Chains A and B, each alone.
Chain A
């Protein structure tokens, strides 16, 4: 969105961007930044001023195990959604507009249902006597039910189900901008499908891949309900642990853990930036 400013514009027009952004910025500062700072302050002040909460939190072996679990689940969900979303986004970007819109509606349909309802639906599907197991046993494929629920499998399935549209949309927004003539030119020059994909299409789609992975991973780190409902205690994520501290009115340690979580995520951001560069997310891909 380019706003063309002419030299004759008055002072009022030059201030315009700030006037327009002002209310939103004030809202963010008030409703987001201020509570965040209060939270950080709480971690240093409750019950007595000092860093004792951080000492307690950092030396808690349970916390580090939970962080490890959270990172592992986040990574698994990112990989699963990427693998599932890539072909779907590719198809969506190649279809004519009307068909693509219809399929896009199906991709976005989960957004219109409650997350909790979806979680309970997964419990019905995956339980020991749930629909899937009953079908497997009924068809004679096995005489014992598979443990599909209350474990890592169920958590990754449930979370990926929720996160898939984010990955699809991320990839789609990049893929739709990939210039098809480049692909055609490559095959004109004798390139096989595999070569074209590996050397032309894949690199062009990478900004969408990076953006999608970042988005999905960050969202996965904050998940609370799905690991709590569908997983075993081995799938305890850090949000669950923080919630426990808050529930016990142990706010000093709970907020300290939250700050540690934010620090870890920022650290991952920094690594991401160092390896891949943020500007890649916004690179304009091909001209249409």
Chain B
């Protein structure tokens, strides 16, 4: 079935291809022209936290200033580096975690903040640097299934109970990352909180070896950490404090939490270098520091921002879930982010080698 390929048919095909290509080129060229000035692109963790941010912070911001907030997810420091080094910066504002934050600042990926436009008076000294503002401190805490260990009976009270198979038998869930696990191992090995850094990794791994066979799930996402416990794939495990809180406050899950020996670190808001809407981003950061709105965030998510006035606005039953409550801080270890910035990659590599070994 060989049809004659006539000159007319060829011409038609080529003409069609040129038109399509031209149309696409025109579309691509026109897109920048459609970008407005009244917009700010925010990158954050996504999921349920974005929903809460939207209703508490971002939609009211749009109503007050007329600046549209376009959100994207997830937090990805590799993507940040790619954007800044290629000169094609999509984000105006991004959430970024501790060690990654320091590393990004060191590599020159972040823009310097105009501190005169931010309410630095309301925030603790540590909460603002030249390159970022606190998104909010959060802790790794212990959570367990209350169907297995009811609150009325004997239940875990400290993160070190992960090792306590005698009283609390069953599989555990741990975060598949060196961060937190090295600290936990060292804590179980008897290291005092004040002496944690630099971390004695050999001791940490010796202690973690005792725990390894009991780990049922190595979780990689926040949702997974609580889902595995609700599903009873594990009876207890580590989780970031907001996650179990969000389920408990909705009455949706049989979860209990323990704060003793919690591990605290912070996430930050930062502006990538070369961001297209720097001024709008600064305005949004300032907007999100308001005490009232941070209290709303805390009530919904369990994560509170840095504003000093927030604690006073929270009811007692919410305050007990906030990582920086004075009661919790007494037995909480604060992560040394500069140690992780310097030793992170090597520590993670060693951890990967350890965790995949049989």
Contact = CB atoms under 8 A, between A and B. Distances in A.
Contacts of B355: 233, 236
B348 interface: yes
21 contacts: A2-B2, A3-B2, A3-B5, A16-B10, A23-B17, A127-B233, A128-B216, A128-B232, A129-B233, A130-B231, A149-B233, A229-B220, A233-B355, A234-B358, A236-B352, A236-B356, A244-B352, A246-B78, A247-B76, A248-B345, A250-B345
Contact of B352 (A228, A241, A250): A241
Given A241-B352, A249-B107, 14 more contacts: A19-B14, A66-B356, A127-B231, A128-B216, A149-B233, A150-B217, A150-B233, A233-B218, A233-B352, A233-B355, A244-B352, A247-B77, A248-B348, A249-B103
B44 to A, nearest CB: 17
Interface in B200-236: 216-218, 220, 231-233
A61 interface: yes
Contacts of B217: 150
Contacts of A232: 218
Nearest to B17: A23
B176 interface: yes
B2 to A, nearest CB: 5
B77 A249 contact: yes
Size class of the A contact interface (CB-based, 8 Å): 20 to 34
A234 B17 contact: no
B291 to A, nearest CB: 34
Contacts of A249: 77-78, 81, 100, 103-104, 107
B21 interface: yes
B117 interface: no
B251 to A, nearest CB: 21
B355 to A, nearest CB: 4
Nearest to A124: B231
Interface of B: 2, 5, 10, 14, 17, 21, 76-78, 81, 100, 103-104, 107, 176, 216-218, 220, 231-233, 344-345, 348-349, 352-353, 355-358
* Most chain B CB atoms below 10 A, which of A2, A60, A248: A248
Contacts of B356: 62, 65-66, 69, 233-234, 236
A189 interface: no
Q: Please report whether the interface of chain B is mostly helix, strand, loop or mixed according to DSSP.
A: helix
B81 A244 contact: no
Nearest to B358: A234
A275 interface: no
Contact of B231 (A4, A66, A129, A245): A129
A65 B358 CA distance: 11
Interface string A48-80: 000000000000111001100100000000000
Nearest to A62: B353
Contacts, number: 68
Contacts of A128: 216, 231-233
A233 B81 contact: no
Interface in A223-277: 228-229, 232-234, 236, 241, 244-251
A75 to B, nearest CB: 18
Contacts of A229: 220
A247 B2 contact: no
B105 to A, nearest CB: 12
A160 to B, nearest CB: 22
Contacts of B104: 249
Q: Which 4 A-B pairs have the closest CB atoms?
A: A62-B353, A233-B355, A248-B345, A246-B78
Interface string A19-42: 100010000000000000000000
Nearest to B353: A62
Contacts of A248: 344-345, 348
Nearest to B177: A244
Contacts of A16: 10
Nearest to A235: B356
Contacts of A245: 345
Nearest to B80: A249
Nearest to A234: B356
A111 B81 CA distance: 33
A247 B104 CA distance: 12
Contacts of B78: 246-247, 249, 251
Nearest to A19: B14
A229 B77 CA distance: 21
Interface in A57-109: 60-62, 65-66, 69
Contact of B353 (A2, A4, A61, A247): A61
Contacts of A149: 233
Contacts of A66: 356
